[in-house]
Amino acid sequence: MLSKTGRRRSGFTLIELLLVLVILATLAAVVVPRFAKRSEQAKITAAGADIANLEVALDSFEVDTSRYPTTEEGLSALVEQPSNVTTWHGPYIKRGVPKDPWGNGYVYTCPGTHNTSGYDIYSFGPDGVDGGGDDIDNWSER
């Protein structure tokens, strides 16, 4: 576009800048939720992997001691030898008992309500509350 002096003006008009902002906002509205869902799915997968690793450690404990840790002993029995166990060959977890991806402890009960001949281990999931359909556990299909 030429100005009154005959020179070409450079720069963007306000409408062009607003159009670019609208396009960027639209792209962000589409892309950001997709990444957020991927992040949550990754946390759910990580919780499932943690539970599987804890199951291996619990099974190793059981092979050595002929029993699983009691509910009172909890998962800490995988890291520190319970006082009444003489055949403990742990620690069965190198880095300590993990927290779930949302920062909460895994819940462990033995004997389990769902696995009556073994144990139940689960995370309350993204909402941090027992139930609600988002818990990650060792008795449901993943």
Sequence spans of domains, the chain: 47-137
**Which CATH number describes the domain made up of 47-137?**
3.30.700.10
pLDDT of residue 9: 66
Burial 17-44 (b: 16+ CB within 10 A, else e): eeeeeeeeeeeeeeeeeeeeeeeeeebb
**What is the value of pTM for the model shown?**
0.73
Mean pLDDT by 10 residues, the chain (142 residues): 61 81 81 74 90 94 95 95 92 92 95 92 90 87 66
pLDDT of residue 4: 63
pLDDT of residue 24: 85
The DSSP element (H or E) to which 69 belongs, if any, is: none
pLDDT of residue 77: 95
Give yes or no for a cis peptide into 126 (omega within 30° of 0).
Answer: no
Helix (H), strand (E) counts: the chain: 1, 3
Looking at residue 52, its amino acid is: A
pLDDT of residue 2: 53
Q: Is 122 helix (H, G, I), strand (E, B) or coil?
A: strand
Contact 119, 68 (CB under 8 A): yes
Residue 2 DSSP class: B
